[in-house]
Amino acid sequence: MTSWKKGLAWGGLTLGAATACGLIIVAIVVDLDTADRIASIIGAVCGLAAICISILTLVRARIPAGGVHEVSQEVEGSTIRKNNTMIGRVGGYLRYGRPQGGTAPASPPRTPNPSSPVSNSPDSTTKQRLSNSEIDGDNLHIGQVEGDADIEREP
């Protein structure tokens, strides 16, 4: 745990203990009904703060920690007789099925960029390459799926 998180935790603990002591003093000096009202208001405020923190945590969990992760896919010097489908990055659920009707033509081969760096760090580019191949059926490249993937095949 980093030092600012430790400080925040200790501050929260100290504030909670001071609040509890203050409510006990109010209950003894003034009356129990007033202490009950104050405790109800404090409880409602703490509940709303907890909901806000939970929503913030859920939103931040969907953002990649290491920045944007790019996916590069290439087909070079290959023949694909049916569909060539390339899916780079999906942030949630992926459902892939066969298109209705005819088949799509294969993408024209691209010349790869030899100066592109290859790295395994979170800020890097994941490369998938199909080169000098001959495929009689379909080609499906999926780079990265953060959720579930449902792929329907031909019967």
Is the distance from CB of 88 to CB of 57 less than 8 angstroms? no
Task: Report the alpha-carbon distance of residue 33 to residue 23 in Å, rounded.
Answer: 11
What are the per-10-residue average pLDDT scores of the chain (155 residues)?
A: 81 91 89 90 92 87 61 81 79 71 44 39 65 82 78 71
Give CA–CA dist 21/26, Å, rounded. 9
Q: Which residue has the tokens 């792929």?
A: 151
Residue type at 75?
V
pLDDT of residue 67: 54
- Residue-range definition of the domain harbouring residue 46: 3-61
- Give the domain-ending residue among 33, 61, 89: 61
Same-domain check for residues 103 and 140: yes
**How many domains are contained in the chain?**
2
pTM reported for the whole predicted model: 0.38
What does the pLDDT read at residue 106? 44
Q: Give the span between the Cα atoms of 84 and 136, in whole angstroms.
A: 11
Nearest to 116 by CA among 132, 127, 102, 128: 127
